[in-house]
Chain A
Amino acid sequence: MNAPLPRDPGLGRRGFLTSAAGVLAVTATASTAAACSTDPVVGPATEADTVFALNGRRTQLVADARVTLLDALRERLELPGTKKGCDRGQCGACTVHIDGRRVLSCLMLAASVQGKQVTTIEGLAQGDRLHPMQQAFVDCDGMQCGFCTPGQVMSAVGLVQEGHAGSDDEIREQMSGNLCRCSAYPNIVESVRKGSG
């Protein structure tokens, strides 16, 4: 058995990408500012101070009011499990639960979740014990590339809570908001059926 690779968050893929993007962002901001010096100054009214429960923990976010919940989770709250697919409410990769209901975090401003309970894919497992739906996706091989899987799992958990896992046809209809570019749909349906039982 191979030894686990050493993990250094500063040298990880995500850490590297984040710092590289930061350099680019600074450059872009500087040139934009030079070109558009008449732009209005962004005042404090354009920031939002939002307190909510994130995977059961009280969380405070002070951010530009334009920031979506999806971007807040991934870029500011270090929870990149929620994926950005289309960023237009068309693919379902960004599905999270707000007050127990499945929603799209890309079409929600972070400022709108004041006082609400947000659950992401990182909040499903209990310690090392996977949520039954996560385990079902593993057992049934309910994925190919895996990019859409966090959204599929969050949507499936919501579907079961809504009582919509009555038949495979109902599962297909009720999972239609989650696209899978690899078309792993047969195994996804099987996973949802198993995870609902």
Chain B
Amino acid sequence: MRPIEFATPTSVDDAVRRFGSGSAYLAGGTTLVDLMKLDVVTPQQVLDIDRLPLRGLRQDRDGLHIAALERMSDVAAHPDVTQAYPVISQALMASASPQLRNMASIGGNLLQRTRCSYFRDITVACNKRVPGSGCPAREGVNRGHAIFGTSDACVATHASDLAVALVAMDASVALTGRNGTRVLRLEDFYRLPGSTPESENELAPGEIITEVLVPPLPWARRSTYVKVRDRQSYEFALTSAAVAVDLRGDVVADARVAAGGVGTKPWRLRTVEQALVGRRLNETDVRAAVEHAADGAAPLKFNMFKPALLRMTIARALMSLVS
């Protein structure tokens, strides 16, 4: 790890003001300290924002406000989340380990970097880490990599489970920076890699995520997160599905579907949502609705299994919502 200057800003404004070209914000530390040890991220100054008063959950007419420095474990267990948005609680509980969930913040979770092994290894090329150096994953060991949203420059998967659930819920993030505060839909906050995979989201230098806003969705009580991985716990997704359905009688009136482990960003599947409307949650109808879930996917040599696994993951999640 390179030498760092360590400082603890006293307010969001103070943090934004101190942020310079070599600065990095530190919250729970589970991404930043890890990547600093690997020399993947090399800040000269670390601004520890973990004590800023960005804590708590509250409900109002706009929905559920989750302050960005809340811990994953606390949000997962909060009654306003477990009852109104089970998909969010389940996505959090399927993430990382109990210790990491006690450390990692909600804002930090959304900003976690990819687990692509080439990104994490400074001895090899990676366009995300060193722009223009190349992408060994395209022809290399790419079993865990993305099939949606990829480019010649990058095929790395977005690693957050929470982000998948939040994109399904149409959540937004509030950002504070030098030019004040703005709100962006989380789906629009993330960028596709294109030819600039080093630029992963809309955050301006020094901007801080202060809050996540989840809009009201009464029928999200019938929602779930299913994650398929190489071991039962403490592993990143091969595929995952965040689903919610508005059931009228036994007919689907509306649905939300987003997928993880398959996209360079959390991947909303509106074609599946539309295909579900008017159908029943039985095996025949669900199979038909997910048939086109992976249309347009671009599998790589070692992840050819992902389109079929994704269809089955979504189907399993939907069938688990039958009461």
Give the B-binding residues of A (Cβ under 8 A): 40, 42, 45-46, 48, 64-66, 68, 87-89, 92, 95, 101-104, 106-109, 111-112, 114, 155, 158-159, 162, 164, 172-174, 176-178
Query: At the interface, yes or no: B3 with Cβ under 8 Å from chain A?
Result: yes
Q: Is the CB of B29 within 8 A of A107?
A: yes
Set of chain A residues within 8 Å of B97, measured between Cβ atoms: 92, 176-178
Set of chain B residues within 8 Å of A158, measured between Cβ atoms: 98-99, 102
Set of chain B residues within 8 Å of A89, measured between Cβ atoms: 30, 34, 100
Q: Is the CB of B3 within 8 A of A155?
A: no
Given contacts A103-B99, A109-B29, A109-B46, 12 further A-B contacts (CB under 8 A): A46-B3, A65-B3, A66-B36, A68-B33, A89-B30, A92-B97, A103-B103, A104-B30, A107-B103, A112-B50, A158-B102, A159-B98
How many A-B pairs with Cβ below 8 Å?
Answer: 90
Set of chain B residues within 8 Å of A112, measured between Cβ atoms: 26, 29, 48, 50
Q: From residue 229 to 246 of chain B, which have CB atoms closer than 8 A to chain A?
A: 232-234
Complex CA–CA separation, A88 to B233 (angstroms): 18
Complex CA–CA separation, A106 to B103 (angstroms): 12
Known A-B contacts A101-B102, A103-B99, A158-B98; A177 and B234 likewise in contact (beta carbons under 8 Å):
yes
Complex CA–CA separation, A22 to B37 (angstroms): 21
Known A-B contacts A89-B34, A176-B233; A104 and B100 likewise in contact (beta carbons under 8 Å):
yes
Q: How far is the CB of A117 from chain B (nearest CB, A)?
A: 14
Closest B residue by C-beta to A101 = B102
10 nearest CB pairs, A to B? A177-B97, A65-B6, A176-B233, A176-B234, A45-B5, A101-B102, A107-B33, A66-B1, A46-B3, A177-B99
- State which of B3, B98, B233, B234 has its C-beta within 8 Å of the C-beta of A162: B98
Interface size of B in residues (CB-CB distance below 8 Å): 29
Give the A-binding residues of B (Cβ under 8 A): 1-6, 8, 26, 29-30, 33-34, 36-38, 46, 48, 50, 73, 96-100, 102-103, 232-234
Q: Is the CB of A102 within 8 A of B3?
A: no
Known A-B contacts A89-B34, A109-B29; A155 and B99 likewise in contact (beta carbons under 8 Å):
yes
Q: Is the CB of B233 within 8 A of A173?
A: yes
Q: Which of B8, B36, B97, B100 has the most CB of A within 10 A?
A: B97
Set of chain A residues within 8 Å of B96, measured between Cβ atoms: 177
Set of chain B residues within 8 Å of A155, measured between Cβ atoms: 98-99
5 contacts across the A-B interface (CB closer than 8 A): A66-B3, A66-B4, A109-B6, A174-B98, A176-B97
Complex CA–CA separation, A178 to B37 (angstroms): 21
- State which of A48, A95, A164 has its C-beta within 8 Å of the C-beta of B99: A95
Q: Is the CB of B102 within 8 A of A102?
A: yes
Set of chain B residues within 8 Å of A107, measured between Cβ atoms: 29-30, 33-34, 100, 103
Complex CA–CA separation, A88 to B120 (angstroms): 12
Q: How far is the CB of A168 from chain B (nearest CB, A)?
A: 13
